Chain A
Amino acid sequence: MSENESELVRRAKTDREAFGVLYERYVTAIYRYVYYRVGNVEDAEDLTARVFLRALNHIHRYDERGLPFSAWLYRIAHNVVVNFHRDQRRHHLLSLEAVAEEPERHPAPAQHSEGDPEAVDQALDAARAREQLLRAIRRLPEDRQHLLVLKFVQGLSNAEIGMIMNRSEGAVKSLYHRTLLQLRTLMAQVEQENRISTSKP
C-alpha cells in the first residue's frame, strides 16, 4: 500500500471524508467485481453499497500489515456476494447467466456491424459465444468464479489474488489451471445442450 493510501486509511478510521476518498478510489473496481458475481445492475449496486457500508463499520479493525486495503475490500465483497448467493439459491436466480441475459445494460463492445449482414452474423455469433461462456463459468464452484473475476475483470496477478483468497501464489496458479480445465469441459456441455435445444422441433 502506498504511503499516501496508508495515511488515508488511517484517517478514514475517524474521518468520513477520508473514507469518501477511499470509496471513490475503489467503487468502480468493487462494482465490477460484484457485477460479474451477481449478474445484474440492481443487485450489483445494492451489494456494492453494502460492501462499503460494511467496510465503514469495520475499518477500525483493519490492520494494514500484510494485507493491502484493496484486498481487504475484495474479501468483504466476496463475503457479501456469498451471502447473497446463499439467499438467492432459494429463489433459483443465476448470476452470470443473468449477465448473459442482460446485454442492454452493460453491452459487449460494439462490433460495427450496421448494414453488413455478414458482420451482423458475426456479432450475433460472438454474443452467443459470450453467453455460453458466462453460463459455463456460472457452473464453476464459487471459489473458481471468484478467481476468474479477480483475474480477468480486475486484472490482478496470482500473488494479489493469493492475498485476497488467503492462498499461496502457487496454490492460486494450480487452482487457475484446474479452473480452466473444468471450464473447458463445462463449455463443451453447454454447447452440447444448446445444440440439442436448437435442434428440437
Chain B
Amino acid sequence: MRPAARLTDADIAWLEARLREAFTPVVPRAEFIADARQRLLHAPARPKPPRAFNPTVLLAVVLALLSLVAALWFFRRPQ
C-alpha cells in the first residue's frame, strides 16, 4: 500500500472494515467477574484525608498569611 497525504472515502471504508475485523469483542472470565466483585465489596474503606491536609485549604491559608505579611510590610511605619 502506498502512503499518501490524504484518504479517500474508499480508503476510510477499507481501513474501518479492517479495524472492525481486528477488534473482535472479548468477554472477561466469569470467575474473574465474580472474584473481583467480591474483593470490591469487601475492600477496606479508604479513609478520607483529614481536613487539615486538604490542599485547597492549605493553599488558602498560605495565601492569606502571605497577604497579611505583604500588607504589614506595605503599611509599615517609616523609621
Contact = CB atoms under 8 A, between A and B. Distances in A.
Interface of A: 16-17, 19-20, 23-24, 27-28, 31-32, 35-36, 41, 44-45, 48-49, 52-53, 56-57, 60, 106-109, 126, 129-130, 133-134, 137, 148-149, 152-153, 177, 180-181, 183-185, 187-188, 191
Nearest to A149: B23
A188 B15 CA distance: 12
A107 B22 CA distance: 10
Contacts of A17: 41
Interface stretch (B1-9, B51-59, B61-69, B70-78): B1-9
Interface of B: 1-7, 11-12, 15-16, 18-29, 32-33, 36-37, 39-41, 43, 46, 48
B72 to A, nearest CB: 38
A31 B26 contact: yes
A106 B26 contact: yes
Given A28-B27, A31-B28, A184-B7, A49 B22 contact: no
